[in-house]
């Protein structure tokens, strides 16, 4: 069985690297986006991830959609089975004008859709209820993989590296803070927390562009002061403005007591949930999407992002739970139910099933 894993390796998130490595040990697999467009290549299974990867991560025009439709049909005519992992509801970014059309096109050609939780299946069935392809696609729930690292540091070592007080209670929000609403949610909740020695860490707190020293000298000086103020760690917070390295990430997550997912808009998945679990941290996040489903099922606090009081309550509850058995339970969940050996076996089952005719069904694996 030859498998084309349509993604790019070494892109800053180890999800694809770990998934592909686990599959490659068990089948003849190639990881490439370019191979998807080859007419001379031969594969039994095409495993897609983000449809926007097929258009270069930019919004497609109609001509691009037509070419993509033709290539998808080429694979179907060649007898390949198309499988896709559902990461997002629609592409991120306001400039993705034909995102709905792109996703609908790709799903219409797929034999299987893999979901991280049951919520995604229900949302998919509702969203595409009027689409003729709905009765032809199979749905399988396969967990998101873990981020358990072989590199380990003690909490004390990581806090010393990051210049964070050893007795601080650290609340960390990873990932790209996407808009002003998410910033406001984090700041307002943090201000209201009744937690002793609280300390906020946001590695990718995007700052405004740097003003010109010649044209706006005062604005530049203010910008430089804010940068120092945010990064110093001496004022109860540490806010960065860039993607951190893998080694830095390990330090940040080791230094953390609670990991917060601050999404205010529609959310389906978040790798940060599994990152927190992989390091035995309490995770606090919105009570919606797959994120809410998994947090509730594992006893981690959730909130309504439109009600600030629920955000504060969830973080304070998380602080209480962080001293009990939940951190270890979260780690065991990641180590067992999200192990790459387990996930790759489930994925291979789907590949094999796709190569035979099955009646339409929803399978929860």
Distance CA 79, CA 96 (A): 31
Under DSSP, is residue 180 helix (H, G, I), strand (E, B) or coil?
A: helix
The token pair at 96 is: 């993705």
Q: How do residues 218-264 score in pLDDT, each as one tens digit?
A: 544 444 434 544 554 444 456 655 667 788 889 999 999 999 998 76
- Rounded to a whole number, what is the distance in angstroms from the first to the last CA of the chain? 21
Cα dist from 107 to 51, 69, 110, 279, whole Å:
9, 11, 5, 34
Instruction: Give the distance from CA 238 to its chain's centroid.
Output: 23
Cα dist from 319 to 127, 188, 300, 304, 354, whole Å:
37, 17, 11, 18, 45
Q: What is the mean pLDDT of residues 295-301?
A: 98
Which residue has 């797959």 as its token pair? 290
The token pair at 224 is: 């430089």
Category of 115 on φ-ψ map: left (φ > 0), alpha (ψ -120 to 50) or beta: beta
Category of 57 on φ-ψ map: left (φ > 0), alpha (ψ -120 to 50) or beta: left
Cα dist from 135 to 46, 106, 111, 171, whole Å:
20, 15, 10, 44
pLDDT for 360 beyond 70: no
Distance CA 361, CA 136 (A): 9
CA angle 282, 287, 289 (to 5 degrees): 110
Task: Give one DSSP letter per residue of 6-56, joined into a string.
Answer: ES-SSSS-HHHHHHHHHHHTTSEEEE-SGGGG-SS---SEEEE--GGGGGT
Q: What is the mean pLDDT of residues 203-213?
A: 60
Percentage of the chain lying above the pLDDT 90 cut: 70
Alpha helices (runs of H) in the chain, residue ranges in sequence order = 14-24, 62-77, 99-108, 118-127, 155-162, 180-192, 217-232, 246-255, 271-278, 289-297, 308-321, 326-337, 340-354
pLDDT for 209 beyond 60: no
**365 band by pLDDT with thresholds 50, 70 and 90:** very low
Write down the pTM of the prediction: 0.88
Distance CA 243, CA 256 (A): 17
Partners of residue 197 on adjacent β-strands: none
Distance CA 318, CA 326 (A): 9
Instruction: Give the distance from CA 34 to its chain's centroid.
Output: 23
Q: What is the mean pLDDT of residues 158-185?
A: 87
Q: What are phi and psi of 331, to 5 degrees?
A: -60, -45
Q: How do residues 86-137 score in pLDDT, each as one tens digit?
A: 999 988 876 777 889 999 999 999 999 999 999 999 999 999 999 999 999 9
Residues 6+ apart with CB under 8 A from 184: none
Q: What is the mean pLDDT of the chain?
A: 88
| Maximum CA extent, the chain | 69
């Amino acid at each position: 069985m030859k498998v084309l894993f349509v993604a790019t390796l070494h892109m800053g998130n180890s999800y694809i690297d770990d998934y592909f490595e686990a599959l490659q040990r068990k089948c003849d697999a190639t990881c490439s986006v370019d191979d998807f467009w080859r007419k001379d290549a031969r594969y039994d299974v095409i495993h897609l991830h983000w449809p926007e990867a097929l258009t270069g991560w930019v919004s497609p025009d109609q001509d691009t959609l037509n070419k993509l439709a033709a290539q998808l049909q080429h694979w179907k005519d060649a007898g390949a089975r198309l499988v896709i992992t559902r990461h997002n509801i629609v592409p991120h970014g306001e400039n993705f004008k034909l995102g709905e059309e792109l996703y609908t096109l790709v799903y219409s050609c797929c034999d299987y859709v893999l979901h991280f939780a049951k919520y995604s299946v229900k949302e998919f069935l509702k969203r595409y209820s009027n689409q003729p392809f709905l009765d032809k696609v199979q749905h399988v729930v396969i967990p998101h993989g873990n981020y358990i690292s072989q590199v380990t540091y003690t909490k004390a070592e990581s806090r010393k590296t990051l210049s964070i007080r050893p007795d601080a209670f650290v609340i960390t929000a990873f990932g790209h803070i996407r808009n002003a609403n998410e910033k406001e949610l984090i700041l307002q909740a943090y201000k209201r927390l009744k937690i002793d020695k609280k300390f906020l860490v946001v590695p990718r707190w995007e700052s405004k562009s740097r003003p010109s020293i010649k044209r706006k000298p005062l604005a530049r000086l203010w910008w430089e002061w804010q940068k120092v103020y945010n990064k110093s760690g001496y004022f109860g917070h540490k806010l960065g403005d860039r993607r951190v390295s893998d080694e830095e990430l390990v330090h940040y997550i080791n230094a953390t007591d609670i990991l917060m997912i601050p999404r205010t808009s529609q959310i389906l998945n978040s790798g940060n949930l599994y990152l927190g679990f992989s390091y035995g941290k309490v995770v606090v996040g919105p009570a919606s999407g797959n994120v809410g489903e998994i947090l509730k099922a594992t006893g981690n606090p959730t909130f309504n992002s439109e009600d600030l009081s629920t955000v504060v309550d969830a973080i304070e509850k998380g602080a209480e739970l962080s001293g009990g058995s939940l951190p270890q339970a979260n780690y065991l969940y990641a180590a067992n139910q999200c192990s790459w050996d387990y996930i790759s076996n489930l994925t291979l089952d789907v590949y094999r099933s796709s190569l035979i005719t099955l009646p339409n069904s929803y399978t929860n694996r």
